[in-house]
Amino acid sequence: MKGRKTGGRKKGTKNKRDQVRAQIIEAALPQLPEHLRDISPLEAMLICMKWSLQQKDRAGILAAAAPFCHARLTSAEVRVTNPASGMTDEELKAEIALLERRIKGDETVH
């Protein structure tokens, strides 16, 4: 029988890096102009990207906002069926003739 886990950080407690990040953000918020306090992470990344481009610092900055702007492609299962696969040559010719008449605008074809 396994005993309870002892020691370690309690669930929900931030690690040092997260604590430092939260302190930096908390200290910077009062210095930000009002219109920048409620921007989304995407808007913040785009601002940083534009600033870096103005400073001619292009190292990796172009890809920073891409995951937020462009969805990743996922694979999908596609099934293609051919309704003409079981038709005889005569049936195919009749179907083609019918489609050609429809294309030409023959009103009698339904």
Helix (H, G, I), strand (E, B) or coil at 72: coil
Q: What whole-number distance in Å separates Cα of residue 18 and Cα of residue 25?
A: 11
Is the pLDDT assigned to residue 59 strictly greater than 70? no
Which tokens hold the place of 54? Answer: 């103005």
Q: pLDDT tens for residues 29-41?
A: 777 777 777 788 7
Q: What is the mean pLDDT of the chain?
A: 77
pTM, rounded to two decimals: 0.31
Please list, residue by residue across 42-71, b when 16 or more beta carbons sit within 10 angstroms of its beta carbon and e when fewer do. eeebbeebeebeeeeeeeebeeebeeeeee
Using pLDDT thresholds of 50, 70 and 90, give the confidence band for residue 4. Answer: confident
**Alpha carbon distance 95, 88 (integer Å):** 11
Whole-angstrom Cα distance, residue 14 to residue 32? Answer: 25
